[in-house]
Structure 1
Amino acid sequence: MKNFKTMKKSKINAQSPLKTISKLFLLLFTTISAASCTNDENATAEKKSPVVLVHGAWQASYVWDQTETDLKAAGYDVTVVKLPGHGDDTTPAYQVSFKTYVDEVKKAINSYNEPVILIGHSLGGAVITQTAAEVPQKIKKLVYVAGFIPQSGKSVLDYSQMDKASLLPASLQLSEDQTLAGIVNPEINLPKIFSQDATEAQKQFLIARYKAEPTIPLGTPLNYKAEDYNLGGKKYYIFTTADNTITYNFQQEMAKSAGITNTYTINSGHSPFISKSPELTTLLKEILLK
């Protein structure tokens, strides 16, 4: 009996090193796998899609300056599109078309080798709508900031006239050749329409850079297929609740018609990147990370 117990104990002791090695190997493998998964997850989390910003009418790329700075500080690669006929661009108004706007946005998108997050304000909303419908495979997310969303066959001008509470249509004045649309008494009406909630310095900033708007793109109907614009739920809208240019109610109607259910609100006039820049950036970063 004693010999049997001794033999049994010896057999158990002989197996113990193997079991110990197996456990160590399993622990090592688990640790390495966990570390690898963590590294992969971190790499995925750190990877941020590029952002393309499109401005609206009677403004130019400068309105996105603070937003661009804030998004870059958060680690995003940002391109701000400069639409022809705006800001410092001297393209004659009669040469500016809605297609040239879309082509500029496509150029910005094509500078990246991956899908982008495309953000448009006001007139820029119509531009990104047409663009996204033409290159849906290159759009990761489509974000409207108080943006127009004309249905195919309708123009920005059509939609602006549908918004009966807007202060904009009654303040427009065409040039003699009808190629430019200006704001009557811009020193007074521009802030009232676009940025009534801005500080005096911010209002003067916009007034000093005011420029009449080419009319051809405003009156050009969009032309796209509804199925191309669907984008599988990747559309977002930020409502500006105190907007005098595109009223809150009309923004809601457009978003609903476009099938956009991912919506946010900011209590601002038509130019939140001027009057409420920190709040706007916070909303944009929330959307970008979804």
Structure 2
Amino acid sequence: MGNTFILVHGAWHGGWCWEKLRPLLEAEGHTVIAPDMPGHGEDRLPIEDQNLEKYARTVEALIAPLNEPVILVGHSFGGMIASQAACYIPNKIKKLVYISAFLPRAGQSCVGIAKSIRPTFHEKLVASGHDFILSADGKTSKVAPDSCADFIYDDIPRDAALMIAKRLGPESNAAQNQTVVLNDRFNDIPKAYVRCVFDRVIDVMLQDKMIAETYCGEVYTLETGHCPFESTPRSLADILLSL
């Protein structure tokens, strides 16, 4: 019997970002669920009202009715969401997988983790003449097309990266600043991490720091940028299929 993969996207993205990876897993007989977090993709809830807990509860609601434990996969900020959701239903999680993702310890936030290695993604943006685009009320941020092409999708053709940039939406700043509430069961859930060594968003030094601080039984490496589901979906699929 195949596994069920729950794929959790990161900031500014939607479930659409897994379009190349999804069929590679399904072709091997696995079930894939790639939801939009509230306010992302096709979901029309106000993004400014969202936070980390609401995202995690969305994932929990998807997993809770399922009969068998799932492989819960988070990319980037999706690692925070997956971690929090796993604490709500640890008995339903077969394995947590982090794809160049934030892997938190108790009480940490995405923004807090990002600041532990300098320069941060934001500092890199500013140094290169870019910056986040903040909403007038300061509750959400967006990524400019050039920033997307230069940092998030810098290892695919630029015209393709700019097309993807058109699909990115705003992200809740509250969500990225909210801390996770982890429990003892979190430490018992098997974890795997996929390092992306040329990542310009979550530097590989930060990835390695998180791996060292939170035990991962399996660590894999891809020579890619931040989004291997787009640049090397076959290689990423092979790792997930081996779990």
Superposed pair shares fold, TM > 0.5: yes
**2:99 touches 2:195 (CA, 8 Å); kept in 1?**
yes
Percent pairwise identity:
28
Shift of 1:161: 2.2
1:111 shift after superposition: 3.4
DSSP 3-state at the match of 2:19: helix
Q: Which residue of 1 aligns with 2:186?
A: 229
Q: Matches of 1:142 and 1:274 in 2, distance apart?
A: 21
User: How many residues are aligned here?
Assistant: 237
Counterpart of 1:203 (choices 161, 171, 181) is: 161
| Contiguous gaps of at least 5 residues in structure 1 | 1-46
| Aligned counterpart in structure 2 of residue 175 of structure 1, from 135, 157, 171 | 135
Match of 1:90 in 2: 44
SS in structure 1 of the partner of residue 101 of structure 2:
coil
CA separation in 1, counterparts of 2:163 and 2:41?
A: 13
Deviation at 1:240, TM superposition (A): 0.4
Amino acid at match of 1:252: D
Q: Which amino acid aligns with 1:251?
A: Q
The Cα of 1:109 is off from its aligned counterpart by 0.9
- Give the alignment of 1:1-290 within 5 angstroms: 47-169=1-123, 170=126, 171-183=131-143, 186-225=144-183, 227-231=184-188, 234-287=190-243
Kindly indicate whether the alpha-carbon contact (under 8 Å) linking 1:54 and 1:121 is maintained by their aligned counterparts in 2. Answer: yes
Rounded to whole Å, the distance in 2 between the matches of 1:91 and 1:163 is 33
Q: Which has the larger radius of gyration?
A: 1
Query: Contact 1:168–1:244 (CA<8 Å) still a contact in 2?
Result: no
Q: Report which stretch shifted further, 263-272 or 84-93.
A: 84-93
Deviation track 1:137-166 (CA, whole Å, cap 9, x = no partner) reads: 111111000110122211111112223134
TM-score (norm 1): 0.78
Unaligned runs of 5+ in 2: none
Deviations along 1:114-139, one digit per CA (max 9) or x if unpaired, are 11110000010011111112211111
Distance 2:142 2:194 in 1: 27
Point out the structure with the larger helix share.
Answer: 1
Residue type of the partner of 1:244? Answer: R
